[in-house]
């Protein structure tokens, strides 16, 4: 396994979105059920959120505009109100996002992203807990139904403005020391790169 680069490779936003599209498209196929189909599928909602984060537009209205007015990639626009998107974000499960991160890992890519406050996790092993940095291996999700398929690393930073939590699939601290990237991960973006 190669060592992570010091900086992200020079990749255009269009290339990242194209790569995400190939990973996400299979997730948007709704399973056949007898229930009413979702107006806005979870995979499409989370995809729109990721794209808005990549475009530095981390707002609910940006997600709404993308899915209802512009359309995401090859998907048609969804007739949904801004309030509908807000409610869907509030009630959406994290299973499509967990599946996406599992696919990123399976494709041989590494990622680092900020973790939301409501995300639950189960600690498996604490790597370090000193000087305002807690570095540990965790399972995302607390219950069997919402548990992610891969063990990940959770790095919690105590700052003057509060606690910031980041998750990465680089589990070996020698390949990615938490001190090396903790200062550079400001905001809520996602950093992804090929591991080999």
55/52 Cα distance (integer angstroms): 5
95/47 Cα distance (integer angstroms): 12
Q: Considering 61, 91, 121, which residue would you say is the last residue of a domain?
A: 91
Is residue 100, in this structure, part of any structural domain at all? no
The pLDDT tens digits of the residues spanning 97-130 come to: 677 777 777 777 788 877 776 777 888 999 988 8
Q: How many domains does the chain have?
A: 2
Domain shared by 63 and 127, yes or no: no
The pLDDT tens digits of the residues spanning 160-195 come to: 888 888 888 888 888 877 666 555 454 444 454 444
- % of the chain residues with pLDDT over 90: 10
pLDDT band at residue 64 using 50, 70 and 90 as cut-offs: very high
More confident of the two residues 93 and 31? 93
Is residue 69, in this structure, part of any structural domain at all? yes
Domain shared by 149 and 186, yes or no: yes
Is residue 23, in this structure, part of any structural domain at all? yes
Is residue 5, in this structure, part of any structural domain at all? no
Q: Is the dihedral of CA 171, 174, 175, 179 positive or negative?
A: positive
Q: Give the per-residue pLDDT at 158.
A: 83
Q: Give the per-residue pLDDT at 172.
A: 84
114/185 Cα distance (integer angstroms): 8
Is residue 155, in this structure, part of any structural domain at all? yes
Query: For the whole model, what pTM was predicted?
Result: 0.59
Domain shared by 81 and 142, yes or no: no
More confident of the two residues 64 and 3? 64
Is residue 157, in this structure, part of any structural domain at all? yes
Is residue 98, in this structure, part of any structural domain at all? no
The pLDDT tens digits of the residues spanning 144-165 come to: 655 566 788 988 888 788 888 8
Q: Considering 35, 59, 91, which residue would you say is the last residue of a domain?
A: 91
Domain shared by 68 and 138, yes or no: no
Q: Give the per-residue pLDDT at 69.
A: 93
Which structural domain, as residue segments, surrounds residue 114? 110-194
Domain shared by 129 and 161, yes or no: yes
Among candidates 181, 48, 26, which has minimal Cα distance to 114? 181
* Residue 59, token pair as written in the block: 């707002």
Domain shared by 17 and 83, yes or no: yes
């Amino acid at each position: 396994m190669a060592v992570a680069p010091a900086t992200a490779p020079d990749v255009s936003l269009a290339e990242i979105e194209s790569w995400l599209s190939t990973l996400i498209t299979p997730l948007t196929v709704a399973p056949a059920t007898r229930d009413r189909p979702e107006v806005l599928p979870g995979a499409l909602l989370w995809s729109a959120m990721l794209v808005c984060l990549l475009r530095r537009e981390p707002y609910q209205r940006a997600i709404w505009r993308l899915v209802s007015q512009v359309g995401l990639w090859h998907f048609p626009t969804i007739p949904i109100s801004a309030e509908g998107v807000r409610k869907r974000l509030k009630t959406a499960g994290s299973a499509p996002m967990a599946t996406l991160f599992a696919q990123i890992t399976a494709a041989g890519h590494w990622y680092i992203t900020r973790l939301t406050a409501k995300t639950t996790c189960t600690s498996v092993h604490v790597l370090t807990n000193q000087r305002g940095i807690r570095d540990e291996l965790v399972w995302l999700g607390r219950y069997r139904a919402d548990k992610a398929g891969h063990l990940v690393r959770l790095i919690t930073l105590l700052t003057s403005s509060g606690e910031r939590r980041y998750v990465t699939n680089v589990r070996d601290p020698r390949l990615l020391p938490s001190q090396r990237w903790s200062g550079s991960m400001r905001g809520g973006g996602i950093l992804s790169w090929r591991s080999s």
